Amino acid sequence: MTFPKNFLWGGAIAANQAEGAYNVDGRGLVQTDVTTGGSVNSSRMTTYIDKDGNPGKAPSMGHNGRIPEGAKFAVLEDEYYPNHKAVDFYHRYKEDIKLFAEMGYSVFRLSISWARIFPNGDETEPNQAGLDFYRSVFEECRKYNIEPLVSIWHFDTPLALEVNYGGWSNRKLIDLYVNYAKVVFTEYKDLVKYWLTFNEINNTTMFLDIYGDAATDEDYQEGYQVLHNQFVASAKAVLLGHEINPEFMIGNMICGITFYPGTCDPADILANQHKWESGIYYCGDVQAKGKYGTYAKRLWKEHNVTLDITEEDLEILKKGTVDMYTFSYYMSNNVTTHTDQEQVAGNFSSGAKNPYLTYSDWGWAHDPTGLQYYLEKIYDRYELPLMLVENGLGAFDTVEEDGSIHDDYRIDYHRAHVKAMSDAIDNGVDLIAYTTWGCIDIVSAGTGEMRKRYGFIYVDMDDEGNGTLNRSKKDSFEWYKEVIATNGQNCLTD
Ligand code: P53
């Protein structure tokens, strides 16, 4: 058997993409509540009322929607906001967790919405209704012996903190976040063992690189300061978590993309190395090794960045290293200085098209070998237990007359990635968990679409908000059940 006996199999969702109930039980607003849907070639838009009282929208650029001077974020009457209702996990979690248990999950990754606990982010007392909700969700998991794996930030800083403090470039957010972490760690210390501090923390600057010339030195200045403040907040949370319960396993979370040099031109080899440094290692090194990599100075200089870093910060970073390295993996990207090569046209994917790979309808490369490469490279670098906490295929699904959904493309994607994990484990990598992304269909983070589906469980909901929200099993449901029952063996033989 390749996979260790106690290997954790399961699935993953995020609060703002699944829960809905955006204005229920005292929850405060977050950025996605003022963000419309988009598609593979049209950006999601952040909506606002400008200083003269007129409605407007600005491209959300992933997760950092910028609106004009003097404008206020606003929910506009004529717009549709997919995250408001999402798939209503808030009211249907019992039914959903029951289905996860039926598949045999031993782990379920979800996130706590900060704005349910502290609606404006800076209250002194937490919102009891928010605490009660997650307690009930975790108890439901425990009922089926499912370990909750909990991210406490999944791109969802309370909007009031963006407005009143200017977001994460303000150091005040460090203490507000640490206080929030303290409340949830204490509240759930006997229900939750596995915690993640910041989801895909590296997106902030990695996607600035992807926007290329559109990103200015000012954007980098802000991006790197945001990251520094989040590193300190994360390290403080790790230290505090271990005080509250020494059994806690606390991880970082990196958007794991495998980068390849597009050609064997030495300029490409070097550009690719630099891409790993700026995109992947920059955050992992601070969070897992406790210090900035030697290349960090080069990056700051390249973008004329001067950071506010104190001696005390550096001490905290050194002490507050994570217990495990967790990451998402969907695709690889090609890095090349040869701009005449055919480019990938997708959302959040970038670089030259790789002639050896096929691409999803959203332009993401199907590359299980890239996963093995990432696992081996990262394990060698940090020698910490690894968790692959997101992996999946966003695809259009067709519901047949009889209600069945034959998603063999999704099964093929996962089978190949499980095989890649097993090869890496055989080569000595300490991988301890696999949670597939969007184990149930949820709203896409990148495009806000429902039709970009990842789930093994189908949800009847479209991009205009029509649908019963009923759940049904896709073919992949029974297949994944078998994967778990055989501890991955069925992927190695068929
Ligand atoms: P969607 C970009 C590239 C890789 C992963 O993404 C990314 C993103 C940002 O969207 O995000 C993670 O829904 C993220 C999830 C997200 C998932 O990947 O755009 O942690 O919230 O849903 C898939 O297809």
How is the chain split into domains, by residue range? Answer: 8-31+82-493
Q: Which pTM value belongs to this model? A: 0.97
Q: What is the DSSP string of 247-304?
A: T-EEEEEEEEEEEEESSS-HHHHHHHHHHIIIIIIHHHIIIIISS--TTHHHHHHHTT
Catalytic residue among 140, 200, 222, 449: 200
Q: Which atom of ligand 1 is nearest to the CA of 362?
A: 24
Q: How far is the CA of 446 from the centre of ligand 1 (A)?
A: 6
Q: What is the DSSP string of 42-64?
A: B--EEEEE-TTS-EEEEE-TTT-
Reported confidence tier of residue 209, pLDDT bands at 50, 70, 90: confident
Active site residue 200: yes
> Could you report the per-residue pLDDT of 436-482, keeping only the tens digit for each?
999 999 999 999 999 999 999 999 999 999 999 999 999 999 999 99
Whether 394 is in the pocket of ligand 1, judged by its Cβ within 6 Å, is yes
Reported confidence tier of residue 234, pLDDT bands at 50, 70, 90: very high
Whether 449 is in the pocket of ligand 1, judged by its Cβ within 6 Å, is no
- Smallest CA-to-CA distance from 210 within 59, 360, 343 is with 343
**For residues 3 and 487, is the Cβ–Cβ distance under 8 A?**
yes
How do 431-437 and 386-390 pair as beta strands?
A: parallel
**For residues 113 and 152, is the Cβ–Cβ distance under 8 A?**
no
What CATH class is the domain 8-31+82-493?
alpha beta
**For residues 269 and 343, is the Cβ–Cβ distance under 8 A?**
no
Best residue for ligand 1 mutational test, from 210, 255, 410 (most atoms within 8 Å of Cβ): 255
Residue 14 has what DSSP assignment? -
Record the tokens describing residue 333, joined without a space. 């990207």
Q: How far is the CA of 391 from the centre of ligand 1 (A)?
A: 10
Whether 233 is in the pocket of ligand 1, judged by its Cβ within 6 Å, is no
Residue 33 has what DSSP assignment? G
Active site residue 102: no
Reported confidence tier of residue 1, pLDDT bands at 50, 70, 90: low
Q: Which atom of ligand 1 is nearest to the CA of 207?
A: 2
What are the two backbone dihedrals, phi and then psi, of residue 203, each rounded to the nearest 5 degrees? -55, -35
Question: If you take atom 11 of ligand 1, which residue's CA is the nearest one?
Answer: 445
Question: If you take atom 22 of ligand 1, which residue's CA is the nearest one?
Answer: 445
> Could you report the per-residue pLDDT of 374-416, keeping only the tens digit for each?
999 999 999 999 999 999 999 999 999 999 999 999 999 999 9
Q: Which residues, including other chains, have CB under 8 Å from residue 271's CB and lie 6 or more apart?
A: 261, 335, 336, 337
Q: How far is the CA of 273 from the centre of ligand 1 (A)?
A: 24
Q: How far is the CA of 445 from the centre of ligand 1 (A)?
A: 5
54 burial class (0-12, 13-18, 19+ CB within 10 angstroms)? exposed
> Could you report the per-residue pLDDT of 96-141, keeping only the tens digit for each?
999 999 999 999 999 999 999 999 999 999 999 999 999 999 999 9
Q: What's the distance, CA 303 to chain centroid?
A: 26
Q: Which atom of ligand 1 is nearest to the CA of 447?
A: 19
Residue with structure tokens 């890496």?
424
In angstroms, rounded to a whole number, what is the distance separating the alpha carbons of residues 438 and 454? 5
Reported confidence tier of residue 65, pLDDT bands at 50, 70, 90: low
In angstroms, rounded to a whole number, what is the distance separating the alpha carbons of residues 424 and 411? 20
Is the pLDDT at 62 greater than 50? The verdict is: no
Q: How far is the CA of 438 from the centre of ligand 1 (A)?
A: 10
**For residues 82 and 443, is the Cβ–Cβ distance under 8 A?**
yes
Record the tokens describing residue 182, joined without a space. 């303290």
Catalytic residue among 140, 147, 390, 449: 390
